[in-house]
Amino acid sequence: MNEPQAPSAALSAGVTIAQALTAARTAGVERLDAQLMLAHLLQQPRSWLIAHDQTVLSVVQATQLAQWLDRRRAGEPLAYLLGQAEFCGLTLQVGPQVLIPRPETELLVEWGLEVLADRLATVSAPSVVDLGCGSGAIALAIQHQCAAARVTAVDASAPALDVARCNAEALHLPITLAQGDWWSAVVGQRFHLALANPPYVAPEDPHLIPLRYEPHSALVATEHGLADLHRLIDGAASALHPGGWLLLEHGHDQGAAVRQRLQQAGFAEAETRCDLAGMERCTGARCS
Ligand code: GLN
């Protein structure tokens, strides 16, 4: 990420895929990222590149690739360069208005689907809310895998809701969108399942430096990163049906604080699940 050579210099007209990959390596950009850029530019699967590495890029393609390599080298996430990210098997449009969906958040979706599978034994169309939906990733993945659910996606940010709306339309998934701050967007409604991946990084956390391209408001919360988790927990009892579940993503060191707050708020069966790295990542509990 700190090589002095500009990759654009190595990507003059007539460059082949193989030469472009070499230029990317020289520029310090990971091979997988460079392959995904090329696959996107050429509208081909990544596997195609290997058998066609003598294909010559057009001037437009080489120019776009050179710009992407420069921006990637400066630290901009690949998902923003390509304008899309994969989540639970869906391709979502993303931009700097929204957090890039993370693989660990798929854990929250899987847990939500387990809750819904149980609930479908007694309720034909369970109601679900995704609070702080950003690109709509959680809400859309739930709706995609559970057609019977009635899913609402909430965000305080109008630009984020525009992204979620585009994704819902592109994927033909009939979620409802509502603008507002956490529970205030759905006052008077009750849900069988609420999920959220709220901001939970403390303002002084150095881990924010590589996340600088993503919306601060989607990442950072006061009270050591717990402020929004607390608001979600404190408002949940009056917004859930009896027996409804609240599932929350949180930081690796926040599980105990979240469980304690849930118990204080009268929730039962608080349980924490770990992500693939073995870190406490999601906590859920049932409204009694
Ligand atoms: N999991 C993200 C990260 O630490 C943070 C997402 C969030 O704050 N909700 O990279």
Place of tokens 């002095």: 4
CA distances from 82 to 94, 100, 174, 269, 288 (A): 9, 12, 25, 41, 44
Q: Is 227 in the pocket of ligand 1 (CB under 6 A)?
A: no
Residue 184 tokens read as: 């205030």
Residue nearest to atom 5 of ligand 1 (CA): 219
Q: Is 200 in the pocket of ligand 1 (CB under 6 A)?
A: yes
- The vertex-81 CA angle with 78 and 86, nearest 5°, equals 55
Atom of ligand 1 nearest to the CA of 104: 1
Residue 99 tokens read as: 């957090």
Q: Is 262 in the pocket of ligand 1 (CB under 6 A)?
A: no
State pLDDT tens for residues 4-32.
Answer: 444 554 577 789 999 999 999 999 999 99
Atom of ligand 1 nearest to the CA of 197: 9
Which regions of the chain are under pLDDT 70? 1-10
Atom of ligand 1 nearest to the CA of 201: 8
Q: How far apart are CA 147 and CA 251, in angstroms?
A: 30
CA of 250 to the centre of ligand 1 (A): 8
Alpha helices in 90-237 (DSSP H): 105-119, 137-145, 158-171, 216-219, 227-236
State pLDDT tens for residues 124-138.
Answer: 999 999 999 999 999
Residue 158 tokens read as: 């109008």
* Residue 150: per-residue pLDDT: 98
